[in-house]
């Protein structure tokens, strides 16, 4: 095992009554990518802000590239690159001026900063737009400029906070390619994202964050394995039929069914493939439950995420619930909360 390039222990940070971080532990081995996955308000950005010296935690310890974040923030700042959720570029400066300014603030000479700016503009496909003010850039161009700004001094450790949020698919892909190049060059990366697809593609390791805590940790495959294999998804026509449908599904479930009343959807983990699907349809039919839609699905990280955050929601009081194995007494309330969170996200 290589040494941890980023490590955090028991980070706590409250804003008024809200515990944004409730004991976050992390470690990212040198040269790897950790994806911090979670919904809005989970504590991803707060974690990044603490690790990049923008915010002091109320408790806990953190180090980046072996340097204590709380004791030597200035030293840390010279070792990291940060590209935030909102493109942190000056709209009224040109692309080149933006990068040159950042270089000069890293104490580079004006000439060296300009040379580095041109190099980065070339690398990020912004050479043609170098002399235009950033206000005229598209969203994707601004993100690339912002990422370039984070790379001015080729920092060994990078933090990317939702780098592709709000980008169209084409620009997202383009940014992924850039990030993959960075990682190939040996940069240690901590990446936050709401997109499971993004974490799946870019990260070696994924930490799922919810309500200020890391609730699961592993590779994408490990996390998928953790919630079992296939699942049957049923959407009933009438939400009044949900309890009946759950009853019909329970004998086939190898885990707790999740119910989303809003979408009238029930999801149960199963084994046995298409045969189970046929059985389930028969059971539902026998109970005269009208089916709007039904299908067999392989797990995605989405499932991992919903399953994990659901558990935490239900067993908050249970301190030992780290591995998501705790009993889930009330599927409906979990689903309700989840629906509420989805709403909040919009």
Partner 1 sequence: MSAVNDSVVVAKRNVRRMTRIPEVLVFGLIQPVMFVLLFTYVMGGAITVPGATSDPDAYKQYLIAGIFAQTVTFAVAGASAGISEDMTKGLVDRFRSLPMARGAVLTGRTLADSVQTALILVVLTVVSLLIGWRTHNDLWKVFCGFLLLLLLGYAFSWIGALIGLSVRSPEAATSAGLVWLFPLTFISNAFVPVATMPGWLQPVAYWNPFSATVQAVRQLFGNVPPGMVQTAWPMKHAIPVSIAWSVLIIVVFRALAVSKYRRSDG
Interacting span for partner 1 (CB under 8 A) from 30-38, 95-103, 285-293, 300-308: 95-103
Q: Which of 74, 288, 319, 320 binds partner 1 (CB under 8 A)?
A: 74
Residues 135-174 that bind partner 1 (CB under 8 A): 146, 149
CB-count exposure of residue 104 (10 Å: 0-12, 13-18, 19+): middle
Q: For residue 19, give Cα distances in angstroms to 24, 115, 154, 211, 339.
A: 11, 44, 34, 8, 21
Q: How many residues bind partner 1 (CB under 8 A)?
A: 31
187 near partner 1, judged by CB under 8 A: no
Kindly give, in sequence order, each residue whose CB lies less than 8 Å from that of residue 142, ignoring residues fewer than 6 positions away. 87, 89, 134
Helix (H, G, I), strand (E, B) or coil at 267: strand
Q: Report helix, strand or coil for 189.
A: strand
Contact 21, 47 (CB under 8 A): yes
Question: Is 333 within 8 Å of 339 (Cβ atoms)?
Answer: no
Is 93 a residue that touches partner 1 (CB under 8 A)?
Answer: yes
Interaction residues for partner 1, span 191-210 (CB under 8 A): none
Q: How far is the CB of 106 from partner 1 (least distance, A)?
A: 6
Q: Which stretch binds partner 1 (CB under 8 A): 45-53, 122-130, 260-268, 307-315?
A: 45-53
| Interface with partner 1 in residues 99-138 (CB under 8 A) | 101-102, 104-107, 133
Closer by beta carbon to partner 1, 58 or else 238: 58
Is 244 among the residues that bind partner 1 (CB under 8 A)?
no
Q: How near is the Cβ of 101 to partner 1 at its closest, in Å?
A: 6
Q: List the one residue from 3, 66, 71, 78 that touches partner 1 (CB under 8 A).
A: 78
Q: Given candidates 59, 66, 92, 282, which one binds partner 1 under the rule CB under 8 A?
A: 92
- Which residue lies nearer to partner 1 by CB, 40 or 271? 40
Which residue number, 133 or 294, has a Cβ lying nearer to partner 1?
133
Shortest gap between Cβ of 2 and partner 1 (angstroms)?
25
Q: Nearer Cβ to partner 1, position 50 or 220? A: 50
Q: What whole-number distance in Å separates Cα of residue 158 and Cα of residue 147?
A: 10
Mask 1-40, x = binds partner 1 (CB under 8 A)? Answer: ----------------------------------------
Q: How far is the CB of 104 from partner 1 (least distance, A)?
A: 5
Query: How far apart are alpha carbons 137 and 67 in whole angstroms?
Result: 36
Q: How far apart are CA 317 and CA 154, in angstroms?
A: 44
Contact residue for partner 1 among 97, 162, 200, 260 (CB under 8 A) = 97
Phi, psi angle pair for 94, to nearest 5°: -75, 170
Q: What is the DSSP code string of 127-180?
A: GGGTTSBGGGS-HHHHHHHHHHHHTTT--SEEEEESTTTT--HHHHHHHHHHHH
* Sole window of 91-99, 216-224, 270-278, 314-322 interacting with partner 1 (rule: CB under 8 A): 91-99
259 contacts 265 by C-beta, under 8 angstroms? yes
* Residue ranges with strand state E in the chain: 4-15, 18-29, 33-37, 59-64, 67-68, 80-83, 157-161, 188-193, 205-210, 213-218, 230-236, 258-260, 265-270, 291-297
CB of 142 to partner 1, least distance (A): 10
Interacting residues with partner 1 (CB under 8 A): 49, 52-56, 74-75, 77-78, 80, 82, 84-90, 92-93, 97, 101-102, 104-107, 133, 146, 149
């Amino acid at each position: 095992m290589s040494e941890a390039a980023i490590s955090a222990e028991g980070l706590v940070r409250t804003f008024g009554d809200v515990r944004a971080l409730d004991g976050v532990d992390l470690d990212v081995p040198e040269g790897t990518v950790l994806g911090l996955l979670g919904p809005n308000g989970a504590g991803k950005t707060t974690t990044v802000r603490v690790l990049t010296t923008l915010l002091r935690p109320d408790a806990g310890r953190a180090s980046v590239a072996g340097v204590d974040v709380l004791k030597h923030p200035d030293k840390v700042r010279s070792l990291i690159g940060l590209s935030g959720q909102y493109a942190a570029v000056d709209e009224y400066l040109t692309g080149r001026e933006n990068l040159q300014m950042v270089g000069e603030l890293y104490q580079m000479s004006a000439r060296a900063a300009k040379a580095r700016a041109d190099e980065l503009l070339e690398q990020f496909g912004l050479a043609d737009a170098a002399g235009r003010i950033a206000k005229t850039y598209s969203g994707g161009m601004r993100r690339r400029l912002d990422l370039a700004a984070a790379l001015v001094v080729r920092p060994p450790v990078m933090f990317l906070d939702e780098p592709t949020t709000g980008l169209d698919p084409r620009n997202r892909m383009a940014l992924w390619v850039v990030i993959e190049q960075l990682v190939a060059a040996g940069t240690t990366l901590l990446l936050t994202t709401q997109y499971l697809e993004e974490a799946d593609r870019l990260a070696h390791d994924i930490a799922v964050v919810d309500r200020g805590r890391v609730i699961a940790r592993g590779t994408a495959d490990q996390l998928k394995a953790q919630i079992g294999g296939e699942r049957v998804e049923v959407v009933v026509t009438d939400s009044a039929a949900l309890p009946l449908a759950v009853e019909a599904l329970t004998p086939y479930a190898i885990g707790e069914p999740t119910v989303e009343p809003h979408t009238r959807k029930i999801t149960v983990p199963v084994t046995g493939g298409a045969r189970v699907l046929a059985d389930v349809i028969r059971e539902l039919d026998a109970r005269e439950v009208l089916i709007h839609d039904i299908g067999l699905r392989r797990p995605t990280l989405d499932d991992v995420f919903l399953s994990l955050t659901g558990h935490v929601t239900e067993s908050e009081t249970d301190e030992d619930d780290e591995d998501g194995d705790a009993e889930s007494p009330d599927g409906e309330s979990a689903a309700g909360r989840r629906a509420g969170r989805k709403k909040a996200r919009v």
